[in-house]
Amino acid sequence: MEIKVLKPSECPDLAETEMETILPLLSDSAKVILAYDGEKLLGTWSLYTMVHAEGIWISPEHRGKAAVARALLTTLVNLVATEFNAGVFMTASDKISVERMVRSLGGVEVGGKHFAVAIPREGFTLSEEVA
């Protein structure tokens, strides 16, 4: 097996992989890990620095009204661009109202559950039973 680490712009067509929807959004500061057996693609994974929006809440008396959501979303988008210098933010949603807001910005669903993983600073080894 051969592992290649490429920039998104250097990647082959990854249609029909989990990378299909996210790859066009990534800048070349991202890294795409590809596992090959000869010319056959066996697997992919990507690493990128991202801004993650989490914890939206609107008081019950203001839900269903656009003003608070619009103000929060406008500020969020401006902060992503100016303070984080990013062209993409990620968020998860279990509410149709949040999904509508995200889709109104051209957001695409990337699927799956989101996890936060703390990385040990030294001496990391993956045991065979994990993978």
Q: How many domains does the chain have?
A: 2
Please check whether residues 58 and 90 belong to one and the same domain: yes
State residue 61's pLDDT score: 94
**Which amino acid type is present at position 27?**
S
Please check whether residues 41 and 58 belong to one and the same domain: no
Q: Is residue 111 part of a domain?
A: no
Please check whether residues 12 and 27 belong to one and the same domain: yes
CA 60 to chain centre: 29
Give per-residue pLDDT as tens, 11-34: 988 888 888 888 888 888 899 999
The pLDDT of residue 130 is above 60 = no
User: What would the mean pLDDT of 106-129 be, rounded to a whole number?
Assistant: 74
Please check whether residues 38 and 62 belong to one and the same domain: no
Q: Is residue 28 part of a domain?
A: yes
Angle between helices 96-104 and 66-82 (to 10 degrees): 50
Please check whether residues 65 and 97 belong to one and the same domain: yes
Name the residue range of residue 19's domain: 2-47
Comparing 5 with 108, the larger pLDDT belongs to 5
Comparing 79 with 115, the larger pLDDT belongs to 79
Please check whether residues 67 and 95 belong to one and the same domain: yes
